Structure formats: C-alpha cells, structure tokens
Amino acid sequence: MLARITEFSTKSRVIVVIIWIAIIVSGVVTSNDLNSRLTTSLTVPNSESEKAEQILNSKFSENSESLITITFKFGTIPKAEIEILKSRTSEVVSDISGLSIVEQRAIGGTLFTIASSTKALPVAALDIDTLRASLKENGLANSQVSGPPAIYADVKPILGNDLARGQMIAITAALALLVITLGFSLSVVLPFIFATASIALTLTILDFLSHYFLMVLYLPSVVELIGFGLAIDYSLLIIHRYRSEVAMNPQLPKIDWIAKTLQTAGRTILISSITITLALCTLLFIPVPFIRSLGMGGVLVPISSALATLTLIPALLALFGENLSKSYKFHGLLRLGTAPGSMILRFAAQFVRAPKRIFFGTLTLLALFALPIMALQVTPSSLTSLPPELESAKAISLISSQVGEGVITPIVVLGEIEPTSSENLAMISQDRLTLASQISQLPGVLTVAQGDKAPYIDQSGNYFRIFVFSKSSLGSAQTRDLVKQLRDKYLPESELGKYVNFYVGGAPAQGVDLISIILKYLPLIVMGLILVIYLVLLRTFKSILLPLKAIVLGAISLAASLGLLVLFMKYGLAKALFGTYQLDQIEIWTLVFLVAILFGVSMDYEIFIVSRMREAWLIGKDNESAISEGFVRTVGVVTAAATIFISAVSGFIFGH
C-alpha cells in the first residue's frame, strides 16, 4: 500500500502539489473563522456545575463566564459620595445591552461592582472597550474592569501578538539551525512547507468540527507547536534518508530513491504518527469538552503529518529531488556526523563498550531531574499568569490585595422550587436570607449576594440564585473546599434544602468537577495508553521486550520532564532565568496534555532509533554492530530535530 501511494504521488506530483496548495489556502482562510468560536469553558458534562450552567443559560439567559468586575479606588470620602459613585456606575452598566448589576460593595476605600452579561463570552468581550470608555466619560476614569470577558478581550490580542512573535523567532531559529544541520541547500525549506501544509489541514478540519464541538482558546497555538515539531522530525528523517540513498546508489533513477526512502523512513514516520495519534487519542476519552478539543487537535496533527509525508513529500522529491539532495560549500553537521573519527562514532563505540556505566549514569541524572515532581500541585485554572500591564490584571491585583481574587469568579448557588402560592413566598424569602447569612459566616467567604428580584430571581419565580464570593482564587484549595462544604453540608442541611433542589455552579464549581473527573479517568487512560502503545510497538519491532523497554524509558523521561517543569515554574527557576511567571500550581489540563504529548514524542524518537537498529540487524549484522549503526544513522537526526524544536519554541518564552 505504501508503495502504491508513493507511486501515485510521484507520477501525479503536480496534481498532489496543487491539492496541498488549496489545503494551505483553506487553512489560512478558515483559521480566522475558527478563532471566533474558541472558548475557555471548563464545563464537565452531566456534572452538577453543568446543570447549574444550563439553568443559568435557560432561565437567566446568562453564563458563568460572563461576570464582569469593576473596581474604583476612591480613598476616604463621605458615605453620600459613595452612594453617588454606586449610582453613576450602575447607570453606565445599565446603558450596556444585556448587562445588569449583581452586587455593589465599598470595602477599604474601593468600590467593587459585579455585573452579569446575558451574552456569550466572546460577544460579552466586545462590550469591554465600550464599558471602559463610558466609565471614563462619566467621571470614573480610575475604574478598572476585569472578569472573564475583560480578560478575554485583553488577552486575545496579546496571544495573537505573542504567537506572531514566537512564530518569527521560531522560523528564524529553525532556519539557522537547519542550515547548520543540512548545509546550504534547498532542503532547509522542506520542513516549513511540510509544517504549513499539515497545520493548514488540521485547522481546516478543526474549523468544521468547531460548529459541533466546543473548542478551547489555546487550540491553534497547540496545533502549531505540535505541527511544527513533527514537521521538523519527519522532514529531517526523510531528507537524511533520501540523501543516504542518493549517496549509496547514485546510478539508480530518482523514482527508486524516493521509493526506497518512503519504504524505510516513510514507514517509520507512519508508525510514529500512529503511536502519537494513539497517545493523544486518550484525551478524547476524558469526558470534558475542554480537554477533548485539545485531543482532537492533537490527534489530527500527526494524521495530517502522515498524509503530508505519504503524498506531498514524494511529490516534492519528484519535482525538486536533485536540488534537495545537494548542498553548496557547507554540507551541514548531519553529513559530517558520520565521517570517520566523528564524535557520534566515538559515542557509539563507548555505548557498546560500557553500556551499564552509561545506563546507570544517565538514569541517576534523570532521577535527580524527576525529584521535584513530589511537590507538584494542580489547579483547574489560574488568573495569576496574566501580563501585569493589562487593565484586567491590575484590577485582579487590586482585588487580591483588598478583598481576595475570588470576587472575579464567584460560586453560584442555584435553587429550583416548585410553583408555590403567594402565602409561601415570604417563608421562602426568609429561608433564603437565613441560608445566605449562614454561608456569609463561613471562614473562606468574603460576602454573599442575593435578593427577591432580578437578577437573583428568574421571570417564572421558580429559580433563584445566590452569589458566594470566596476570599481565595477559584483554583485554590480553600475555594475547592468551600464548594464541597456547600454541596455536602450547608445546602442539604438548610431549611431550604427540604423543598429546594440545589445546583452549585460557577467557575470554582466547574474546577472542582474538572479535577474530580480527570482524576477518575486518568488511571484508566494511562493503562489504556500503555497497552495500545505496547501492542503497536510489538507489531512494529516483533519483540516482547523492546516495547516494554520503550514504555519504561518513556515513563522515566516523562517523570524527568515533569520534575523539571515543577523546578522551573513552582520554584522560580524560569522566572530567574527568563523573567517568566512563577506558579505554585500547574493547571491540570496542561498536565494531562503534557503527559500525552511527551509520552508520544518519546515514543517518536524511540521508533526512529530502534527501527534503524532493527533494519541493520535484519540484514545480518550482529547485535553490537546493529546498535552502533542504528545509533550513528539516526542520533544526528533525532538530536538535530530536538535541538531545532527546542530553539524554535523557546521564542514563546519571551511572550507576555
């Protein structure tokens, strides 16, 4: 089958290239359309927080992502002037379509106004500039606006600029290192063509899927990072093997060089793509749309890369193969690496002579890297890594110092009551007031907002809501404990609990449900991941022990990577070296995604190296010679690919 696809792609090379050009154009066009439907929702299907969200949507025409916080620092002024400030702020808010006041409170010389929008997050974000301008026009120029819509409005252009800057640094660094690796050759352009094509195909498919599934805000960045990394890996492997075939068999026609390259390196890439796809496919089994969207993107990238390898690469080799195999004046370190006396050859000899010493030395080093993983802490979400110059970030800083970050993302308690007679309304109101008072006395609660009219009661009068503002951030252990206490103790044990169905929602409750569902499914997914990868490698290597060895080494490298992540992010090494953020907790979705992608990438490099070793062994070489040849032929490609990818993505470190 591989041979037939290669033959078709080389014979119909012009048609294949035209099709891929159309795909690239489609990816460019649809990427903007995709961006308009991205979200940050942490909704967990069939959870209590999702039921609460559905009630907010259907009965109050709102969602938990659309709460806006306005802060105004006034210092020391008479109470009458504070009331004037409240009134002027309320007037500004009421002039914005779909926006209504939830709570206003003056604490420590600062007026805090919480407003709720009936619009979806991306649409509510469009009102932020209007709101800020209106506040200034009405003498409230010192106001600062925050909350999810404001953060979305502030961060989205920053993400776009950071992505553009990171891409420019990535392209520059990758181009320079590709020249060092491959020499002055037209082949340095191939990885960029490959990356553009595979990413464009992925984004086109994701744009179609976004009409039916939730897609997370970070998805395009994730797709571009994975796509670029795989493009570097696969292109270098193809170019290196193609050059080797040309050098070993100069008398053969170009079509034979391409066929041989795809039969060997192409097969390795296909297996690698399947392995990475299966690794990332595990994300689809976590019933959280946020994570599933990352899984969709992660699965589509290696599939798109495999399609590009099997079709676009043979077509380009057929069109420009002679130029891709040649280099001018400087031939690149990859070619020099296999020369007699080269460092790679000396390393290979050392590995064969002293395998135990090198193994235990490397294992000790990786174990040291992995030690910080014991201090790993997770959070469902965090607002602490926002660029400090943003207005929304300044507001969060002020709120955190004055009252607590929990004001930005309150817990929303929703109550459902049966249609009742007017005689019982007074009792319900009193019981609700009593419950709100009890909740407000809890140690972790800043304040509680509730009432007998909109926006606390829906139009039917059968649903009410109470806003619980925590002193701590939505991802903190204190806020998570508060959500659990409300669900397990205070709501069911209250007088209202005897005749009201409660649903605890809002971002903090969504975070609790998110962590709970991930921890529930993670062990099963990890076991499934290991089993599937073992079966794929068993089929590939025809060995029982080689897949086990690959999985164990993959787990060791994963532990080392996560340990370094904790060292850099939690203990401030990244902040000291690069001026980035110091985070006490890692967002759990990031951790889950990293586990899948890092395990997949480690298998990727494992397949590259071991496949070449096995190839040498199958043609009759003894074990030591096969190991040495496989290492020499592939370690340069693997090291170069990893170095180029690391250098390229490092550009994103210097973003906001």
In tens, the pLDDT along 405-447 reads 778 888 999 999 876 544 577 788 888 899 989 999 998 888 8
Taking only Cα atoms into account, the Rg of the chain, rounded to an integer number of angstroms, comes to 29
How far apart CA 433 and CA 279 sit, in angstroms, is: 51
Instruction: Check residue 133 and give its pLDDT.
Output: 92
Alpha-carbon distance of 226 to 205, in angstroms, equals: 16
Residue 442 lies in a domain: no
The residue behind tokens 């009409």 is: 211
Contacts of 530 (CB under 8 A, 6+ apart): 551
- Please report, for residues 48, 288, 509, 510, the alpha-carbon distance to residue 44 in angstroms, rounded to integers and kept in the order given: 9, 5, 10, 7
Instruction: Please check whether residue 414 is in contact with residue 56, taking contact to mean a CB–CB distance below 8 angstroms.
Output: yes
Question: If you average pLDDT over every residue of the chain, what do you get?
Answer: 84
Q: Which portions of the chain are predicted below pLDDT 50? A: 421-422
In a domain, 281, yes or no: yes
Q: Exposure string (b/e) for 546-585, b if CB count within 10 Å is 16 or more?
A: bbeebbebbebbbbbbbbbbbbbbbeebbeeeeebeebeb
Q: Which helix (H) or strand (E) holds 579?
A: none
Q: CA-CA distance, 209 to 197, in Å (whole number)?
A: 19
Look at residues 269, 374, 395 and name the one whose alpha carbon lies nearest to residue 5: 269
* H or E stretch at 195: helix 190-209
pLDDT value, residue 656: 58
Give the separation between CA 378 and CA 104, rounded to whole angstroms: 32
The helix or strand, by DSSP H or E, that contains position 281, with its residue range, turns out to be helix 267-281
The pLDDT value recorded for residue 288 is 84
Asked whether the beta carbons of 408 and 383 are under 8 A apart, the reply is: yes
- Neighbouring C-beta atoms of residue 614, cutoff 10 Å: 16
Place of tokens 């320079």: 176
- Residues linked to residue 68 through DSSP beta bridges, in sequence order: 115
Amino acid at 36: S
**DSSP codes joined into one string, 67-121:** EEEEEEE--S--HHHHHHHHHHHHHHHHTSTTEEEEEEEEETTEEEEEEEESS-H
Q: Give the pLDDT confidence score for residue 563 in this predicted structure.
A: 93
Tell me the two tokens of residue 380: 């469902």
> C-alpha angle with apex 583: 580 to 588, nearest 5 degrees?
120
The per-residue pLDDT for 336 is 57
Nearest one of 249, 239, 261, 248 to 325, comparing CA atoms? 239
In the chain, the largest separation of any two C-alpha atoms, in whole Å, equals: 99
204 in any annotated domain: yes
Residue whose entry in the numeric block shows the structure tokens 């991205």: 38
The confidence score (pLDDT) of residue 199 equals: 93
Q: Is the dihedral of CA 633, 638, 641, 647 positive or negative?
A: negative
Q: What is the model's pLDDT at position 337? A: 52
pLDDT of amino acid 15: 93
How far CA 454 is from CA of 54, 66, 67, 68, 169, in Å, comes to: 18, 16, 15, 17, 51
Residue 300 within any structural domain of the chain: yes
CB 141 within 8 A of CB 135: yes
Q: Would you say residue 634 lies in a domain? A: yes
Q: Identify whether the C-beta of residue 143 lies closer than 8 Å to the C-beta of residue 135.
A: yes
Q: Give the whole-angstrom CA distance, residue 313 versus residue 239.
A: 10
pLDDT at position 617, please?
Answer: 85
Q: What is the pTM of this model?
A: 0.76
Question: CA-to-CA distance for 577 and 568, rounded, in angstroms?
Answer: 9
According to DSSP, the residues that pair with 115 across neighbouring strands are 68, 101
Report the first-to-last Cα separation within the chain, whole angstroms.
47
Beta strands in 457-567 (DSSP E): 463-470, 501-505
291 located within any domain:
yes
Number of Cβ within 10 Å of residue 290's Cβ equals 24
- Look at residue 286 and tell me if it is in a domain: yes
Domain range spanning residue 10?
2-36+183-375+513-654
What's the structural domain count of the chain? 1
CA torsion sign, 7 to 10 to 13 to 17? positive
- Tell me the C-alpha distance between 378 and 554, whole Å: 22
Residue 550: inside a domain, yes or no? yes
